[in-house]
Amino acid sequence: MQTTRGVIITGASSGIGLECARRLSSRGFHVFAGFRKEPDAARLERLAPGHITPVKLDVTDAASIKSAVKAIEKCPNGVVPYGLVNNAGIVIAGPLELLPIDAFRMQIDVNLIGQLAVSQAFIPLLRSHHGRIILMGSILGRFALPALGAYSCSKFALEAMAEALSMELAGTGVSVSLIAPGNIESPVWEKSLKTALDIAGDLSGRDWDPYRDAIEPAMGYLTRLPERGISAEKVALAVERALTKRTPKKRYAVGLDSVFLGRLLPAFPAGMRQAILRRVVLRR
């Protein structure tokens, strides 16, 4: 029987995940598209009928992950689980001093713990087919920005997780690659701004004085990010390469900002790097 490679994509309802689902389904993969909200399921299925199977999957819910594994174990005839694209992620913005611990915990839970939990659940299936794991990192896994510290914490840690996991799985039949996009056109930035404003509202009684002059330019920077981002298609192309190349890279930088800034800025002395970043974000 002819086999088709199946790929699981978490957070496939929008942005990079949706573009990955579109591209991979058109390249001969059968996509198991992870979603959380029911209205997204039909939309995903319509994207490529017969080539995309929506799967309810919340990366922060152990029962949901277990259910998704069971659903994918019952693959359509000829489909073998080959790839896992750990794409689900959120951005929670705000100064770390005033960020509610529950919000910080959610940032880490979705972007880091969730990726490991899903990887652990699917590794046995992937190993039997010499499969591949893709972790969705970020340029902000190499340096941090004011008001995006929580996000960078999750992505810094993800870089370490990808490296350790890659070494641990070497020789077991499963490869691991990290995709590190720069600024991408994505609804995640609009969502992050809304979250930041919600948090600011919740903390209206707190002492914001040390941050009042900085918060407006930082939020303005978040607003401008989508205008400067490159297409999510370029990230999907990197994901496709990581899944199809005979010897995939351990790390794919996507976008000129990721290629150059990701290498250049960490090489600067910390004080100089922080001065540059404050100038870019806070305009001072």
| Gap between the Cα atoms of 251 and 134, Å rounded | 10
Alpha-helical (H) ranges within the chain are: 15-26, 38-47, 62-73, 101-108, 114-127, 149-169, 187-202, 212-228, 232-244, 256, 262-264, 270-282
- Catalytic residues, by residue number, are 151
**DSSP code for 140:** G
| Gap between the Cα atoms of 67 and 53, Å rounded | 14
Interhelix angle 38-47/15-26, nearest 10 degrees: 30
Quick one: tokens of 61? 């819910």
Strands 4-9 and 30-35: parallel
| Gap between the Cα atoms of 55 and 10, Å rounded | 9
DSSP bridge pairs for 33: 9, 54
DSSP bridge pairs for 178: 135, 251
Q: For residues 40 and 18, is the Cβ–Cβ distance under 8 A?
A: no
**DSSP code for 76:** P
Interhelix angle 232-244/15-26, nearest 10 degrees: 50
Quick one: tokens of 48? 């490529």
Residues 70, 160, 87: CA angle, nearest 5 degrees: 40
| Cα dist from 169 to 50, 124, 177, whole Å | 32, 11, 12
